[in-house]
Amino acid sequence: MTPFFQLLQSSPPFFTALCGIVGLMVGSFLNVVIHRLPKMLEREWHAQCAEFNDHAAEGSLPAPVKGMPPDAHPSGGLGAGSGDDNSAPASVGSGLRTFGEPASVPLAGAADAPTGIPMADEPGGTPRYNLVVPRSACPHCGHKISALENIPVISYLLLRGKCKGCGAHISARYPIVELVSGLLSGYVAWHFGFGLAALAALLFVWALLSLTFIDFDTQLLPDVITLPLLWMGLLFNLFGAFAGLHSAVIGAVVGYLVLWGVYWVFKLVTGKEGMGYGDFKLLAAIGAWLGWQMLPLVIMLSSLVGAVVGITLIVAARHGRNIPIPFGPYLAGGGLIALLWGQTLTQNYLHLLAAP
Ligand SMILES: [Zn+2]
């Protein structure tokens, strides 16, 4: 073992600090993912729809369709826990509508080209748009973000939350995502200690973080994150990182089926869609990571937090009863709590039950 790994293993404070710093930098990248991934998917769907409609016009396909996203599913709805009127995006179409512009627009860390989404049908090929290109720029003036202006949290503070080019306000969400990522990463490192579990848990936490914010913004949980997350969970549990393989496989299946069942019961009873397929896949992924034994706790925690937040929003009248509340963030929160304290919580709970 090299001295560096020995140091990581022998000094928890060093490992914690290192992971905290890495977490800050990853947070900066997560900002890009959160902002760009939905736009990338939307571009893809537009391109596929255009292609499909071309085929349909040529008569090789039955009829033109509009906006059918093949690889993400609306999520959200049951968030309030009351389950009442929070219908999720009733159709794919409305899902796409909410999809257009994230709630917070101006940004530096992960800024977009000022013109918005370059469309896929531009002549002479599509301008590249992915997680790497184009470089981040201010959406107001197009000022390219230099490496020095992209230091997690610190740059935001030094710039006092304003674009260096035009002085436009930069959303505080960017340093917040970075900070949350840094703190959680440091905590995970301290909690698990140097080893496979810590590495796996970091990936799990980062994925949950990006899913949370993407779901907030767009009511979608992209398959490109939820599905690899599921497989990664099974893979890590091949080596017993968090649960036995048996438990992980059953967890994935049961996680999916539980919410799928709730969805159909809710739909048959009320005629509405309470949540989306993205939610099923996320809970399947969480089941694959933590094993089926953790699912009741995850569902309980996410419903509890969802109910509290949902009712608060409705009471505060800032949120109409018909506006869907994404459920993904609560599932992610429940998953995170179960990852870190699930064993303790379950043991204490069973202990309480066993007490006379
Ligand atoms: Zn600017």
CA of residue 140 to ligand 1 center, whole Å: 5
Q: In a 3-state reduction of DSSP, which class is residue 244?
A: coil
pLDDT averaged over the chain? 82
CA of residue 210 to ligand 1 center, whole Å: 25
pLDDT, tens digit, for every residue of 255-276? 999 999 988 998 898 888 777 8
CA of residue 170 to ligand 1 center, whole Å: 9
Mean pLDDT is lowest, of 111-115, 145-149, 153-157, 193-197, for 111-115
CA of residue 206 to ligand 1 center, whole Å: 28
Confidence category of residue 99, pLDDT binned at 50, 70, 90: very low
Most confident of 60-69, 138-147, 227-236: 227-236
How many CB atoms within 10 Å of residue 193?
A: 13
Phi/psi at 211 (5° precision): -60, -40
CA of residue 138 to ligand 1 center, whole Å: 5
Half-sphere exposure (CA, 13 Å, Cβ side) for 227?
7
| Residue 61, pLDDT score | 60
CA of residue 105 to ligand 1 center, whole Å: 12
CA of residue 212 to ligand 1 center, whole Å: 27
Q: How distant, in Å, are the alpha carbons of 165, 326, 330 from that of 315?
A: 41, 17, 19
pLDDT, tens digit, for every residue of 176-215? 999 999 999 999 999 999 999 999 999 999 999 999 999 9
Confidence category of residue 72, pLDDT binned at 50, 70, 90: low
Confidence category of residue 74, pLDDT binned at 50, 70, 90: low
| Residue 348, pLDDT score | 85
Mean pLDDT of 10-20: 95
Q: How distant, in Å, are the alpha carbons of 68, 73, 126 from that of 117?
A: 18, 21, 11
Assessment of whether the complete model's pTM goes beyond 0.85: no
CA of residue 104 to ligand 1 center, whole Å: 15
More confident residue, 43 or 124: 43
| Residue 346, pLDDT score | 85
Mean pLDDT of 227-254: 96
More confident residue, 314 or 151: 151
Confidence category of residue 307, pLDDT binned at 50, 70, 90: confident
* pLDDT at residue 16 greater than cutoff 90: yes
CA of residue 157 to ligand 1 center, whole Å: 16
DSSP 262-300: HHHHHHHHHSS--S-HHHHHHHHHHHHHH-GGGHHHHHH
Mean pLDDT is lowest, of 76-80, 96-100, 121-125, 175-179, for 96-100
Structure tokens at 139: 């959406």
| Residue 84, pLDDT score | 34
Alpha-helical regions (H) of 159-195: 173-192
**Percentage of the chain modeled with pLDDT above 90:** 54
CA of residue 113 to ligand 1 center, whole Å: 11
> Cβ(13)–Cβ(3) under 8 Å?
no
CA of residue 329 to ligand 1 center, whole Å: 31
Mean pLDDT of 304-320: 76
| Residue 90, pLDDT score | 35
Whole-angstrom distance, CA of residue 68 vs CA of residue 60: 18
